[in-house]
Amino acid sequence: MSESTSVSTTPTPRRAVVTGVAGFIGSHLAHTLLQAGTTVIGVDRRDPAADQTAAANLAASHGLPGYMHITADLLTCAIDPLLFDADVIFHLAGIPGVRASWGPHFGDYVASNILATQRVMDAATRMRVPRVVVASSSSVYGPTSGGPSVESDHPRPASPYAVTKLAEEQLCLAHAARADCPTDVVALRYFTVYGPRQRPDMFTHRALLAAITGQPLRLYGDGHQRRDFTYVDDAVAATIAAAFAPTDTGIVNVGGGSNASLLEVINIAKSLVGRDIQIHVEHARNGDVLTTRANSGRAHDVLGWRPTVDLHNGMRAQMQALTQPAYRAVA
C-alpha cells in the first residue's frame, strides 16, 4: 500500500494541479499521480523548507521527475499561471476538522474553504481548465438515522466546518453550472480518511499513537460513534477516477465501506501494537455525528470505484508508518 503500491493501469491525467499537496490526502494523491507519469504542480501554503510535517508528507514526491512545488496561499497568490495547460485541478486545500471549527479560527475555515475556492474556480474558468475535482466531506450530511447517506439526501451540516464544506462544493457546482463556464466539477464527499500520514488531530492516528507510546487516549463520548473509515489509497484512487468521470457527474460519496465504532478502532490498535490503551473518557463534542455511512452505488457507477482496503489492514499500514523514525519525529 501507499509508497509500495504498484503503478496502476487506470487512466491518469497528463498534467494536474494538486492544491493542499503538503497535507495528508494531497501528498498521497501527488505521489500516486507522479508514479503513474502525471506532471504534478503541487500548491500549498505550508512551506516544506520550514514545516516539518509538510516536509515529511512530501518527502516521497520531492525530486521525482514531473513534480513542481509551489509554496503559495490560494487566498492571495496569482493562480492563473499555475493552471497553464492543466487537464485537472484536484482542489484539496482547506482547513479540515470538525471540532476545532467552533473555536476562534472559524475565519480561517471561511477564508480557505470558501474564499480561496472562489478564487480557484474563477481562475479555472479563465484558464479554461476542463475539470476541477473538489474535496467535500461526509460531514455535510449531518445527523442521520444510521442508514447509508445518498448524494441526493438533504444536507444538514452540524458544525461550522461542515457548513463551509457544503458551501465549498456548492460554490464549485454553481460555477460549473454557468453557461459560459468551460470547467466541469466533481465534488467528492470523503468519509473519514485514515492511513499513513493521517492528520494528528484524527482518531485513528491518536489511537495508534496511544498504543505505541503508552500515553492516554482521550475518548470524546462513549466510543459507540461509528465512521465509514476510508483508507487513503482508496480515497486517492477515487479522486483520480473523478478526473475521468462523465460531464455533470456532480457529487459522489467516497466511503471506505469499513463502518466501525471507535471502540473497534481501539481494539484493532491494541491488537496490532500488542499493548493496552489507557482511555480518558471526556464529554461528546458538539458537531460530532453518531454515525457516518456512505451509499457507494454512485461511486461505483460513475467512477468505476470500489474500496479495496479493510480497516484492519489499513490500520496495520498506518501503524507501520507511525513506527518509522522519520515519521515519528513529526507525529
Interface residues with ligand UGA (CB under 6 A) are: 96-98, 137-139, 190-192, 202-203, 206, 218-220, 225, 227, 262, 285, 288, 292
Instruction: Choose between 38 and 159: whose C-beta lies nearer to ligand NAD.
Output: 159
Length of the chain: 331
CA dihedral 45, 48, 53, 56 (to 10 degrees): 140
Do 236 and 197 form a contact (C-beta atoms < 8 A)? no
Distances (CA, A) of 228 to 62, 276, 318: 32, 24, 17
Beta strand 193-194 with 217-220 is: unpaired
| Active-site pick, 67, 109, 161, 194 | 161
Choice from 1, 17, 18, 20 touching ligand NAD (CB under 6 A): 20
Choice from 1, 16, 22, 238 touching ligand NAD (CB under 6 A): 22
In the bound complex, what is the minimum distance in angstroms from residue 18's beta carbon to ligand NAD?
10
Instruction: Choose between 105 and 199: whose C-beta lies nearer to ligand NAD.
Output: 199
Other beta carbons within 10 Å of 107: 10
Burial 189-226 (b: 16+ CB within 10 A, else e): bbbbbbbbbbeeeebbbbbbbbbbeeeebebeeebebb
- Looking at residues 116 to 155 of the shown chain, list those that interact with ligand NAD (rule: CB under 6 A): 116, 135, 137
161 carries an active-site annotation: yes
* Rg of the chain over all Cα atoms, to the nearest angstrom: 19
Binding of ligand NAD at residue 227 (CB under 6 A)? no
In the bound complex, what is the minimum distance in angstroms from residue 65's beta carbon to ligand NAD?
23
The alpha helices in the chain, defined as continuous H runs, are: 24-35, 52-58, 106-109, 116-126, 160-177, 203-213, 232-242, 262-273, 297-303, 311-322, 325-328
Q: Give which of ligand UGA, ligand NAD, none residue 112 binds (C-beta under 5 to 8 Å, depending on kind).
A: ligand NAD
Choice from 18, 34, 41, 74 touching ligand NAD (CB under 6 A): 74
Do 305 and 228 form a contact (C-beta atoms < 8 A)? no
In the bound complex, what is the minimum distance in angstroms from residue 39's beta carbon to ligand NAD?
20
Binding of ligand NAD at residue 112 (CB under 6 A)? yes
Do 160 and 102 form a contact (C-beta atoms < 8 A)? yes
- Looking at residues 163 to 222 of the shown chain, list those that interact with ligand NAD (rule: CB under 6 A): 165, 190, 192-193, 199
Instruction: Choose between 34 and 163: whose C-beta lies nearer to ligand UGA.
Output: 163
3-class SS of residue 16? strand
Do 186 and 250 form a contact (C-beta atoms < 8 A)? yes
Instruction: Choose between 203 and 276: whose C-beta lies nearer to ligand NAD.
Output: 203
In the bound complex, what is the minimum distance in angstroms from residue 274's beta carbon to ligand NAD?
27
Instruction: Choose between 233 and 247: whose C-beta lies nearer to ligand NAD.
Output: 233
Instruction: Choose between 20 and 142: whose C-beta lies nearer to ligand NAD.
Output: 20
Active-site residues: which are they?
Answer: 161
Residues that bind ligand NAD (CB under 6 A): 20, 22-26, 44-46, 73-75, 92-96, 112, 116, 135, 137, 165, 190, 192-193, 199
